[in-house]
Amino acid sequence: MASYSLVVSGEVHEGFDKEHVKSVFRTLTGLPEARTDELFDTGKFLRQHNLSEEQAQRKRDALAQRGIVCYLEKETAGSVVADDHTVAPVVPGISSHDDTLTDPPSMYARDDAKAGEETVHADVGGMAVEQQGEGERLPFIFAGRAGEFFRIWIVNLLLTIVTLGFYYPWAKVRSNRYFYASTCLKGDSFSYLAEPLAILKGYLVALLLIGLYVFANIFNSLASGVVILLLFALLPLLLVRALRFRARNTAYRNIRFSFTGGVGDAYAAFLLWPLLTIVSFGILIPLMIYKQKAYLFNGFRYGESTFRFDTSAGPFWRLYLMLFAMFIGAGVLISALTMVLSLGGSDLQSLPMVAMVLPMILLPLVYLGLYAFLFVRQTNLVYNAVALEQHRLQSDYALGSWLGLQIGNLLGVVLSLGLLIPWAKIRTARYRAQHTHFLAAGDLDRFVAAEEKKRSALGEEIGSAFDMDIAI
């Protein structure tokens, strides 16, 4: 059987920014920066051996789409024809079969010992080879850049301001499109397809509702109470509309997502359960969260294929119990520390100061830490439970890196007086992509588009106004 090798020449297609291509390539392969620079700046070559014709072509196309110049060379069976550029022997570990079974960082076996040689061995990982019947861990790749998004953000912000807000739906669509189109799975990006006009209509309706509420509130507290109750009663319905809008306008490989969760179930998850939680003094929170997440992720579809939320309420109970224990523990620790410090202090005047200031400094830090802990653990818990047919998601947010990201964003946004908001958004999206994987159980070519259904246009437009950030 003929095998092929894929050669990356280190050149960049016309119209692509070299630095950008380099960073995309680094993300795809996990190759260290120095090696990537070597490849793109000093005329060295990178070669991957032992690919089938189809695999090699797929990888070539995926790379070419990202502006990376590469070509295929036919190898004679079992051995490699050394050409003018390569002098390195084949590294036995790099077969396409092994690639698919190991984690990305380790899967790009590198011949570091042969650093002096001209060839760098690495796998083109993002487009790793499909293996039927075997699992494959596909990374989500986020290729958005802060500089590029900053230009989009500031121009659209200005347009929104000078049009007194009427341009806002267009700005929002552009921003969403940027983040979707910059997110890649297996060489294909996501698309955001919402029509700005639909969103504008939704906003006008929402504005009308808010106006109604404000007027009712001004003239009569009883009427405003009625309106508030009405809004509360409508909230699950609006949420369903928003979910449908968001899902329908998301596509991957020209197959749209959809949301099929029922209105009645939405009322149970988002009205009944919160009420039960209140009645139970918060004890039922874990169960409520579980019910809500289950409702969401059991409702999504990709084409004809349904998503599942594959877990029970157990892990949620454990997580919240752990949180509660940590909260109590931190409280006890702080009180003890305060006591010890006030006992040890001999200076009578400084005594109450220590006792007062210490909890004031420590408590917000504890809250922040616990919030971060809950967010990270719950995100992992939820996304690890999401399944699409036999495929799964995998999420590995980590407490330290997530806190680092958030604190960096906070400092950046504050110190730049808001100018670094786009940068913070890009960093957040990149973090999310880097810490989420798609565990593909087979190839991704077999999803089938759903039948077009008639839908109430206005309903979804209203939903668009309440469109929340619900990530898929």
Partner 1 sequence: MSAVTEACNTPGRRPDSVQGCYYDGKRSRRHPARLLVHGGCVRVCNEQGGLLDSMDSVRELRISPRLGNTPRAVYFPGGGHFETPDNDGLDRLMGGGGLVHWLESRYLFVSVSVVLTALLVWWFVVQGVPALARMAAFSLPDTVLQKLGREAHALLDEQWLQPSALSTQEQQRVRHAFAPVLENFRQQGYVLQVHFRGSEDMGANAFALPSGDIVFTDDMVRLAENDDELLAILLHEIGHVTSRHGLRQVIQMSSLMVVITLVTGDVSSLSSMAVSIPIMLMQLGYSRNFEREADALALREMLADNIDPLNFVTIMQRLQQQKACGGKKSATECGRGLPDFLSTHPQTEARLKPFLSAAGN
**Residues of the shown chain interacting with partner 1 in the complex, contacts defined by CB under 8 A:** 13-17, 20, 57, 61, 64-67, 145, 148-152, 154-162, 165, 168, 170, 172, 174-175, 177-178, 181-182, 187-189, 191, 218-219, 221, 252-255, 303, 375, 406-407, 409-410, 413-414, 417-419, 421, 424-425, 428, 444-449, 469
Could you give the C-alpha distances from 399 to 62, 141, 405, 469, in angstroms and in order?
33, 21, 10, 22
Which of residues 29 and 175 has its CB atom nearest to partner 1 in the complex?
175
Which of residues 242 and 421 has its CB atom nearest to partner 1 in the complex?
421
Structure tokens that stand for 86 in this block: 């390569």
Structure tokens that stand for 335 in this block: 């009180």
Distance CA 71, CA 85 (A): 13
Cβ neighbour number for residue 281 with a 10 Å cutoff: 8
| Shortest distance in whole angstroms from residue 235 CB to partner 1 | 18
Q: Report the chain's C-alpha Rg in angstroms.
A: 27
Which of residues 53 and 112 has its CB atom nearest to partner 1 in the complex?
53
| Shortest distance in whole angstroms from residue 379 CB to partner 1 | 11
Amino acid at 206: A
Distance CA 454, CA 29 (A): 44
Which of residues 3 and 175 has its CB atom nearest to partner 1 in the complex?
175
3-state secondary structure of 269: helix
Nearest to 32 by CA among 15, 51, 43, 46: 46
List CB contacts of 336: < 8 A, sequence separation 6 or more.
none
| Shortest distance in whole angstroms from residue 277 CB to partner 1 | 22
Which of residues 142 and 273 has its CB atom nearest to partner 1 in the complex?
142
| Shortest distance in whole angstroms from residue 189 CB to partner 1 | 6
Count, residues in the chain: 472
Dihedral, 193, 197, 200, 206 alpha carbons, nearest 10: -80
| Shortest distance in whole angstroms from residue 316 CB to partner 1 | 20
| Shortest distance in whole angstroms from residue 35 CB to partner 1 | 24
CA 442 to chain CA mean position, Å: 22
Q: What is the DSSP string of 177-188?
A: HHHHHTEEETTE
Which of residues 311 and 409 has its CB atom nearest to partner 1 in the complex?
409
Q: Please check whether residue 383 is in contact with residue 394, taking contact to mean a CB–CB distance below 8 angstroms.
A: yes
Distance CA 443, CA 137 (A): 12
CA 48 to chain CA mean position, Å: 30
Which of residues 17 and 33 has its CB atom nearest to partner 1 in the complex?
17
| Shortest distance in whole angstroms from residue 14 CB to partner 1 | 8
| Shortest distance in whole angstroms from residue 123 CB to partner 1 | 20
| Shortest distance in whole angstroms from residue 193 CB to partner 1 | 9
Structure tokens that stand for 461 in this block: 């437009």
Which of residues 120 and 421 has its CB atom nearest to partner 1 in the complex?
421
Nearest to 142 by CA among 316, 24, 292: 24
Which of residues 105 and 454 has its CB atom nearest to partner 1 in the complex?
454
